[in-house]
Amino acid sequence: MDRTESLPAPVRPDLVALLLSAAEAPPDWARTITPQARLDADLALDECELATLGSLLLECYGPVADLAALRGRLDLEQLAELTVADLQRELLPPGATGPGPATATATAVTVGGADR
C-alpha cells in the first residue's frame, strides 16, 4: 500500500455504511471505523465478513472496487496491516459516493448484530 500521505482522508460515509452492513453492526460501531483502523485486528472482521464486504463494494462501485483482488495480492503481514484508509484510497472511485446503505444488502446469513 502506498502510505505517503501525511494525513489520511476522513472515512467516507458510504464506506462506513458498507462496513456497518458487512459487520452487522449498529450505527454506534461507526466510532471504531477510523482511517487507521485495521480490518483484521481493530475491526475484527473475519474472512466471511470480508467476503460480504467485498460483495457489497462490487455491488456499489463495480469491478473497480475489487476487495478480493486487492487482498489476493497481499501477504500475511500486509493483510494484517490493511486499513480502512487503504480501502478508501485503493478501491473507492474519487468523488463517487455510491448508492449508499439503502441498497447495501449483506449476503451473510447473520442475526443479532452488534448491540452491546
Partner 1 sequence: MSRFLIVVPPLAGHVLPAAGIGRELAARGHRVAWAGSEAVLRPLLGPEAEVLGTGSRLLRPQGGHGLAALRSLWEKFIVPYARFTEKALDRAVLEFRPDVVLVDQHTPAGAIAAHRHGIAWASLAPGAMELGRPFRALPQVERWMLDHLGGLWQRAGLPAAGFTDPRFSPELVLALTGPALTGPDPFPEHFALVGPVLTDRPAVPGFPWDRLEPGRRRILLTMGTLADGVSADFHRRALRAVELCGTGPDRPQLVVAAAPELLPGLPPDAVALERVPILELLRRGQVDAVLCHGGMNTVGESLSHGVPVVAAPIRHDQPFVAAQLAASGAGLRVPFPRVGPPGLAVALRRALEDPGLRAAAVRVGGSLRANGGAGAAVDRLEALAPGSAAGIPLV
The rounded distance, in Å, linking the Cα atoms of 31 and 68 is: 25
Q: Give me 114's grid cell.
A: 452488534
Region near partner 1 per CB under 8 A, out of 9-17, 55-63, 73-81, 94-102 = 73-81
The rounded distance, in Å, linking the Cα atoms of 77 and 47 is: 15
Select the residue interacting with partner 1 from 15, 23, 53, 65 (CB under 8 A): 23
Q: Is 66 in the site for partner 1 (CB under 8 A)?
A: no
* Closest separation in Å from C-beta 63 to partner 1: 16
DSSP lists the bridge partners of residue 83 as 38
CA-to-CA dists, residue 43 to 15, 23, 88, 97, angstroms: 14, 9, 15, 22
Q: Is 114 in the site for partner 1 (CB under 8 A)?
A: yes
Q: Is 71 in the site for partner 1 (CB under 8 A)?
A: yes
Region near partner 1 per CB under 8 A, out of 4-12, 56-64, 94-102, 107-115 = 107-115
Q: Is 94 in the site for partner 1 (CB under 8 A)?
A: no
